[in-house]
Amino acid sequence: MRQRRIGTTDVTVSEVGFGVWTVSTSWWGITDEAFGVRLLQQAYDAGITFFDTADTYGNGLGETILAKALGERRGQITIGTKFGYDFYHNTSRRGHEELPHDWRPDYVRFALEESLKRLQTDRIDLYQLHNPRLDAMQRDDLFATLDALKREGKIRAYGPALGPAIAERQIEEGAAAIEQRHVDVVYIIYNLLEQMLGLGLFELGRRHGTSFLVRVPHASGLLDGTVKPETVFSQDDHRFHRVSTEDRKREWQVNGLKKVQQLEFLWQHTGRSLAQAAIQYILAEPSVASVLPNIYNETLLREYASAPETPALSHDELARVAQLYADNFGLQPASA
């Protein structure tokens, strides 16, 4: 699989990466650690060399499982992990509730050392602020610490993983990170149906030499065929913890599928599946370094890992997508 460079650093990542959250949290129905280890190893065999995790995934499991699966391949893989949520001193958490952040230099160094131990490595390739707010971007001591860790060789690149929920706020946070802190990378949600963050940040990133990582490329199932008109979601479905009512969930589903129908030209008779077209659309943006789909079984792994080998989207296809998005696919404003 082709590699892309992170910013102006010497860190490279595979065009499709593996988000370790699927095999280290309970949100995806994977509770068998041995299966998770095997899936990570199969991803490497399929050409994926970028693995992204966080210290909070499974309270450390997201790092230990990666070491267990690919520790012997450390020299051949790129590791991203995240910090900021203090799960060491805040042990009670309800559902998807956010934990308190701690951006103090002493805590950052402590969290890094703990991650290094769990990952059984001496360096983190991409060290990411986990869902920071604007106040974190304004901390000189935090970024002085990250620069020092870079000089010490303990991290090779850094930047924010933006979230959760409010896109307008994330654009402000991402812009501050790029323009004021000159970060190497920014991690965002972006896909054919949810383009706000990309439209707000890609051009800025290109001007400043900042790369992007992209998650949720399949719009929580709308763009990989797993969400259908008859699909019924449970109240605790991980994809909808941001959506407050059942009516909003249904609106997202119905309107989203109407939009997907209008994108059939991207996969019908093109040599791409729906899911592969969604990945190729994101890879058409030159500032994107890697796309991280939700991989939780072998079938999805094979389809996603082979996406970069399918035909790239043409200029006409990209222009048609841009026009559809600008017109909201002819629908009333909706949540998708």
Helices 105-119 and 140-151: angle between axes, nearest 10 degrees: 40
Largest CA distance in the chain: 56
Report the range of poorest mean pLDDT among 86-90, 212-216, 271-275: 86-90
Q: What is the pLDDT of residue 240?
A: 57
Distance of CA 234 to the CA centre of its chain: 24
30-35 mean pLDDT: 91
Q: Angle at Cα 286 formed by Cα 280 and Cα 292, nearest 5°?
A: 50
Read off the pLDDT of residues 142-154 as tens digits, 9 standing for 90 and up. 999 999 999 999 9
Residue 30: is its pLDDT beyond 90?
A: no
Element (H, E) at 61: helix 61-70
Instruction: For the sheet with 211-215, list strands across it.
Output: 18-19, 50-52, 78-83, 126-130, 158-161, 185-189, 211-215, 288-292
Residue 242: is its pLDDT beyond 60?
A: no
Contact 188, 174 (CB under 8 A): yes
Tell me the pTM: 0.94
